[in-house]
Amino acid sequence: MQSAVFPALRLFALASLWLACPLIAQKEKPEPLTEAQIEQIREAGILPNERVKLYTKFLDEHAETIKSLTNRSKSISRAKRLDEELQDLTALMDELGSNLDVYSDRHGDIRKSLKPLSDAADHWLGILRALPGEPGFDLARKEAIESGEDLADQAKRLLTEQTEYFDLHKDEQGQDRAEPK
């Protein structure tokens, strides 16, 4: 009987360790938005222009924080804070890009928010490019610039596509999503 129990226990122990390893290895990443900001986005619900405006506003706040940290004297804590802010900025830009993909697929008319987003993305890129790279946050800076370029390109492309689409489909202008006909 003992010989049958020990392999089962060993198998159970190995399976437990295998399942626990990812949990141990996971780095707890804080949310780039505050609870109040998350609630504002939830309240905007299915209103695409409002959501894009909120994301633009929150991204602006992160970019301004990064800009304010740029002129502080170099230190480990400054580099750590810049790294965190850059990662948050990148995560938010990627999240907004995903939202834009959804709104584009739904043919939601978001032209009102795309022009300010496009201008803001250019401003954020200016802040990121002016930030001199340092070992403590250089990778996060490069990723943020890449994400910012992608978002700026996406906003400009989507604005062009939407302008062309709604010129052809005037009856759908101003809608949050295309309704089946």
29-73 per-position pLDDT tens digit: 668 898 999 999 999 887 899 999 999 999 999 999 999 998 888
Q: Is pLDDT larger for residue 108 or for residue 161?
A: 161
Q: Is the pTM of this model over 0.75?
A: yes
Residue 22: inside a domain: no
pLDDT at 85 over 90: yes
Residue 30: inside a domain: no
Task: Say how many domains are in the chain.
Answer: 1
Residue 57: inside a domain: yes
- Per-residue pLDDT averaged across 123-148, rounded? 94
Angle at 90 between CA 56 and CA 154, to 5 degrees: 60
Residue 168: inside a domain: yes
The boundaries of the domain holding residue 147 are 36-172
Residue 11: inside a domain: no
Residue 17: inside a domain: no
Q: With beta carbons less than 8 A apart as the criterion, state whether 115 and 99 touch.
A: no
Whole-number pLDDT of residue 7: 54
Whole-number pLDDT of residue 37: 93
Residue 102: inside a domain: yes
Residue 15: inside a domain: no
**In the chain, % of residues over pLDDT 90:** 59
How many Å apart are CA 166 and CA 157, to the nearest integer? 14
